[in-house]
Amino acid sequence: MIQATSGRLVLSPSDLNDHVECPHLTTLAFEVASGTRPRPHLPEDHADLLRHKGEEHEGAYLAELRKQGRQVVSVLTANPWDFATSARATEEAMRAGAEILNDVSGLKHDPYLALVAVRERAPLILMHMRGTPETMQALPFAKDVVSDVVAGLRQSISVARRAGVPKSHIVLDPGIGFGKSYAQNYELLAKLSAVSRLGYPLLVGTSRKGFLGATLARHGKSAPPNQRIWGTAATVAACILNGAHIVRVHDVPEMLQVARVSDALLAAPHS
Protein backbone atom coordinates (compact mmCIF):
# COMPACT_ATOMS: atom_id res chain seq x y z
CA MET A 1 0.00 0.00 0.00
CA ILE A 2 1.26 3.48 -0.81
CA GLN A 3 1.66 6.32 1.60
CA ALA A 4 -0.95 9.03 1.32
CA THR A 5 0.13 11.76 -1.06
CA SER A 6 -1.41 15.04 -2.05
CA GLY A 7 -1.40 18.10 -4.21
CA ARG A 8 -0.82 19.98 -0.98
CA LEU A 9 -2.18 18.15 1.98
CA VAL A 10 -3.05 14.53 2.51
CA LEU A 11 -5.36 12.23 4.40
CA SER A 12 -7.45 9.15 3.68
CA PRO A 13 -11.26 9.44 3.43
CA SER A 14 -11.72 5.76 4.19
CA ASP A 15 -9.48 5.65 7.24
CA LEU A 16 -9.93 9.00 8.93
CA ASN A 17 -12.93 8.77 11.18
CA ASP A 18 -12.08 5.70 13.21
CA HIS A 19 -8.75 4.38 12.06
CA VAL A 20 -6.45 7.34 11.48
CA GLU A 21 -3.82 5.53 13.54
CA CYS A 22 -3.40 2.84 10.88
CA PRO A 23 0.19 2.57 9.57
CA HIS A 24 -0.53 3.33 5.93
CA LEU A 25 -3.06 5.74 4.45
CA THR A 26 -3.75 5.18 0.81
CA THR A 27 -5.49 8.01 -1.00
CA LEU A 28 -4.15 11.00 -2.87
CA ALA A 29 -5.11 14.60 -2.47
CA PHE A 30 -5.42 17.48 -4.87
CA GLU A 31 -5.59 21.11 -3.92
CA VAL A 32 -7.66 23.69 -5.70
CA ALA A 33 -5.82 26.89 -4.86
CA SER A 34 -7.94 29.71 -3.50
CA GLY A 35 -9.16 31.92 -6.31
CA THR A 36 -8.58 29.44 -9.12
CA ARG A 37 -11.22 27.88 -11.32
CA PRO A 38 -11.75 24.27 -10.27
CA ARG A 39 -11.41 21.54 -12.87
CA PRO A 40 -14.61 19.53 -13.47
CA HIS A 41 -12.70 16.27 -14.00
CA LEU A 42 -9.47 14.84 -12.66
CA PRO A 43 -7.04 12.33 -14.19
CA GLU A 44 -6.66 8.83 -12.79
CA ASP A 45 -3.60 9.80 -10.77
CA HIS A 46 -5.43 12.66 -9.08
CA ALA A 47 -5.79 13.11 -5.36
CA ASP A 48 -9.10 12.53 -3.63
CA LEU A 49 -8.65 15.07 -0.88
CA LEU A 50 -9.44 18.73 -1.39
CA ARG A 51 -7.74 21.32 0.77
CA HIS A 52 -9.63 24.60 0.82
CA LYS A 53 -10.53 27.74 2.72
CA GLY A 54 -14.28 27.34 2.68
CA GLU A 55 -14.88 29.49 -0.39
CA GLU A 56 -18.03 29.06 -2.46
CA HIS A 57 -16.36 27.85 -5.67
CA GLU A 58 -14.50 25.18 -3.70
CA GLY A 59 -17.70 23.87 -2.15
CA ALA A 60 -19.25 23.64 -5.59
CA TYR A 61 -16.23 21.68 -6.78
CA LEU A 62 -16.61 19.21 -3.91
CA ALA A 63 -20.26 18.71 -4.80
CA GLU A 64 -19.41 18.09 -8.45
CA LEU A 65 -16.78 15.49 -7.58
CA ARG A 66 -19.19 13.68 -5.29
CA LYS A 67 -21.80 13.62 -8.07
CA GLN A 68 -19.18 11.81 -10.15
CA GLY A 69 -19.00 9.16 -7.44
CA ARG A 70 -15.61 10.32 -6.15
CA GLN A 71 -14.68 9.71 -2.54
CA VAL A 72 -13.63 13.19 -1.48
CA VAL A 73 -12.62 14.49 1.92
CA SER A 74 -12.29 18.23 2.33
CA VAL A 75 -9.59 19.76 4.52
CA LEU A 76 -9.86 23.25 5.97
CA THR A 77 -6.54 24.87 6.89
CA ALA A 78 -6.96 27.22 9.83
CA ASN A 79 -4.50 30.06 10.21
CA PRO A 80 -5.48 31.46 13.62
CA TRP A 81 -3.73 34.76 12.85
CA ASP A 82 -6.01 35.31 9.86
CA PHE A 83 -9.58 36.37 10.66
CA ALA A 84 -10.81 34.47 7.60
CA THR A 85 -9.84 31.22 9.32
CA SER A 86 -10.36 32.25 12.94
CA ALA A 87 -12.19 29.81 15.21
CA ARG A 88 -15.62 31.28 14.48
CA ALA A 89 -15.09 31.32 10.71
CA THR A 90 -13.57 27.85 10.90
CA GLU A 91 -16.60 26.54 12.77
CA GLU A 92 -18.89 27.91 10.09
CA ALA A 93 -16.78 26.34 7.35
CA MET A 94 -16.81 22.97 9.10
CA ARG A 95 -20.58 23.10 9.29
CA ALA A 96 -20.68 23.98 5.61
CA GLY A 97 -18.92 20.76 4.68
CA ALA A 98 -15.23 20.78 5.57
CA GLU A 99 -14.34 17.46 7.18
CA ILE A 100 -10.77 17.81 8.48
CA LEU A 101 -9.24 20.70 10.40
CA ASN A 102 -5.57 21.61 9.95
CA ASP A 103 -4.23 24.03 12.60
CA VAL A 104 -0.83 25.46 11.68
CA SER A 105 -0.37 26.79 15.22
CA GLY A 106 -0.85 23.41 16.91
CA LEU A 107 -3.61 24.97 19.09
CA LYS A 108 -1.14 27.42 20.63
CA HIS A 109 -2.78 30.55 19.28
CA ASP A 110 -6.43 29.55 19.62
CA PRO A 111 -7.11 26.38 21.67
CA TYR A 112 -10.83 26.82 20.92
CA LEU A 113 -10.17 25.21 17.55
CA ALA A 114 -9.92 21.89 19.40
CA LEU A 115 -13.49 22.33 20.65
CA VAL A 116 -14.59 23.00 17.07
CA ALA A 117 -12.98 19.71 16.04
CA VAL A 118 -14.74 17.89 18.88
CA ARG A 119 -18.12 19.44 18.16
CA GLU A 120 -17.88 18.65 14.46
CA ARG A 121 -16.26 15.23 15.06
CA ALA A 122 -13.49 16.28 12.70
CA PRO A 123 -9.96 14.87 12.54
CA LEU A 124 -7.39 17.45 13.61
CA ILE A 125 -3.91 18.03 12.18
CA LEU A 126 -1.53 19.66 14.67
CA MET A 127 1.54 21.38 13.23
CA HIS A 128 4.62 22.57 15.11
CA MET A 129 5.69 26.19 14.59
CA ARG A 130 7.98 28.44 16.60
CA GLY A 131 6.38 31.88 16.95
CA THR A 132 3.98 33.16 14.32
CA PRO A 133 4.22 33.26 10.52
CA GLU A 134 5.67 36.77 10.84
CA THR A 135 8.27 35.93 13.51
CA MET A 136 9.09 32.25 13.01
CA GLN A 137 12.27 32.83 11.00
CA ALA A 138 13.34 35.87 13.04
CA LEU A 139 13.23 34.22 16.48
CA PRO A 140 16.31 32.35 17.75
CA PHE A 141 16.24 28.77 16.52
CA ALA A 142 15.93 25.96 19.07
CA LYS A 143 19.21 24.55 20.37
CA ASP A 144 17.82 21.03 20.00
CA VAL A 145 15.25 21.03 17.21
CA VAL A 146 14.03 17.46 17.71
CA SER A 147 13.43 17.98 21.44
CA ASP A 148 11.74 21.31 20.70
CA VAL A 149 9.39 19.78 18.13
CA VAL A 150 8.58 16.77 20.32
CA ALA A 151 7.90 18.96 23.36
CA GLY A 152 5.78 21.38 21.34
CA LEU A 153 3.69 18.62 19.79
CA ARG A 154 3.24 16.98 23.18
CA GLN A 155 1.79 20.26 24.41
CA SER A 156 -0.52 20.46 21.39
CA ILE A 157 -1.65 16.86 21.92
CA SER A 158 -2.36 17.59 25.58
CA VAL A 159 -4.55 20.58 24.70
CA ALA A 160 -6.42 18.55 22.09
CA ARG A 161 -6.96 15.54 24.34
CA ARG A 162 -8.14 17.69 27.27
CA ALA A 163 -10.66 19.28 24.93
CA GLY A 164 -11.96 15.83 24.05
CA VAL A 165 -10.37 15.15 20.66
CA PRO A 166 -10.06 11.34 20.32
CA LYS A 167 -6.54 10.01 19.85
CA SER A 168 -7.65 8.39 16.59
CA HIS A 169 -8.54 11.84 15.21
CA ILE A 170 -5.11 13.42 15.70
CA VAL A 171 -2.37 13.73 13.06
CA LEU A 172 0.98 15.43 13.75
CA ASP A 173 3.05 17.64 11.45
CA PRO A 174 6.62 18.56 12.54
CA GLY A 175 6.39 21.79 10.53
CA ILE A 176 9.36 21.54 8.20
CA GLY A 177 10.49 25.09 7.38
CA PHE A 178 8.35 26.72 10.07
CA GLY A 179 10.81 28.26 12.50
CA LYS A 180 13.63 25.85 11.65
CA SER A 181 17.06 26.60 10.24
CA TYR A 182 18.41 25.10 7.04
CA ALA A 183 20.34 22.42 8.96
CA GLN A 184 17.46 21.76 11.36
CA ASN A 185 15.11 20.84 8.53
CA TYR A 186 17.48 18.06 7.49
CA GLU A 187 18.05 16.97 11.09
CA LEU A 188 14.30 16.65 11.61
CA LEU A 189 13.94 14.51 8.49
CA ALA A 190 16.85 12.29 9.57
CA LYS A 191 15.42 11.90 13.07
CA LEU A 192 11.73 11.72 12.16
CA SER A 193 11.40 8.45 14.06
CA ALA A 194 11.76 10.43 17.30
CA VAL A 195 8.57 12.30 16.42
CA SER A 196 6.78 9.12 15.32
CA ARG A 197 7.39 7.66 18.78
CA LEU A 198 4.73 10.03 20.07
CA GLY A 199 2.32 7.43 18.71
CA TYR A 200 0.35 9.41 16.13
CA PRO A 201 0.34 9.41 12.32
CA LEU A 202 2.79 11.89 10.83
CA LEU A 203 2.13 14.31 8.00
CA VAL A 204 5.29 15.85 6.54
CA GLY A 205 5.50 18.60 3.92
CA THR A 206 8.84 19.28 2.24
CA SER A 207 7.62 19.93 -1.29
CA ARG A 208 9.59 22.65 -3.13
CA LYS A 209 10.50 24.38 0.14
CA GLY A 210 13.22 26.97 0.56
CA PHE A 211 15.78 24.71 2.20
CA LEU A 212 15.73 22.57 -0.95
CA GLY A 213 16.29 25.65 -3.07
CA ALA A 214 19.32 26.51 -0.94
CA THR A 215 20.72 22.99 -1.28
CA LEU A 216 20.28 23.05 -5.05
CA ALA A 217 21.57 26.60 -5.51
CA ARG A 218 23.71 27.41 -8.54
CA HIS A 219 26.04 30.40 -8.89
CA GLY A 220 24.93 31.63 -5.50
CA LYS A 221 21.23 31.72 -6.41
CA SER A 222 18.59 29.51 -4.84
CA ALA A 223 16.99 27.05 -7.23
CA PRO A 224 13.48 28.24 -8.15
CA PRO A 225 10.54 26.17 -6.91
CA ASN A 226 9.92 24.47 -10.27
CA GLN A 227 13.49 23.14 -10.18
CA ARG A 228 13.14 21.52 -6.78
CA ILE A 229 11.12 18.48 -7.86
CA TRP A 230 13.96 15.94 -7.68
CA GLY A 231 15.10 17.36 -4.36
CA THR A 232 11.53 17.00 -3.17
CA ALA A 233 11.52 13.40 -4.34
CA ALA A 234 14.58 12.63 -2.21
CA THR A 235 12.96 14.09 0.89
CA VAL A 236 9.63 12.36 0.24
CA ALA A 237 11.43 9.01 0.11
CA ALA A 238 13.33 9.88 3.29
CA CYS A 239 10.10 10.89 5.06
CA ILE A 240 8.34 7.65 4.19
CA LEU A 241 11.34 5.48 5.07
CA ASN A 242 11.69 7.32 8.39
CA GLY A 243 8.08 6.93 9.45
CA ALA A 244 5.83 9.45 7.70
CA HIS A 245 2.34 8.16 7.00
CA ILE A 246 1.32 11.16 4.93
CA VAL A 247 3.31 13.38 2.56
CA ARG A 248 2.25 16.78 1.31
CA VAL A 249 3.40 17.55 -2.23
CA HIS A 250 2.74 19.68 -5.30
CA ASP A 251 3.74 17.20 -8.00
CA VAL A 252 1.30 14.34 -7.42
CA PRO A 253 2.07 11.91 -10.30
CA GLU A 254 5.84 12.08 -9.74
CA MET A 255 5.62 11.74 -5.96
CA LEU A 256 3.13 8.91 -6.30
CA GLN A 257 5.91 6.94 -7.99
CA VAL A 258 8.32 7.87 -5.19
CA ALA A 259 5.79 6.76 -2.58
CA ARG A 260 5.16 3.42 -4.30
CA VAL A 261 8.85 2.58 -4.52
CA SER A 262 9.45 3.71 -0.94
CA ASP A 263 6.63 1.50 0.27
CA ALA A 264 8.05 -1.42 -1.69
CA LEU A 265 11.35 -0.88 0.15
CA LEU A 266 9.54 -0.84 3.48
CA ALA A 267 7.75 -4.07 2.58
CA ALA A 268 10.96 -5.89 1.56
CA PRO A 269 12.59 -8.35 4.01
CA HIS A 270 15.05 -6.59 6.31
CA SER A 271 16.78 -9.60 7.82
Known catalytic residues?
209, 248
DSSP secondary structure code for residue 166 in this structure = -
Amino acid at 236: V
**CA 239 – CA 236 distance, rounded (Å):** 5
Quick check: 160 and 168 in contact, CB under 8 A? no
Quick check: 239 and 192 in contact, CB under 8 A? yes
Q: How far is CA 252 from each of CA 31, 46, 181, 248, rounded to the nearest angstrom?
A: 10, 7, 27, 9
Q: What are phi and psi of 203, to 5 degrees?
A: -110, 130
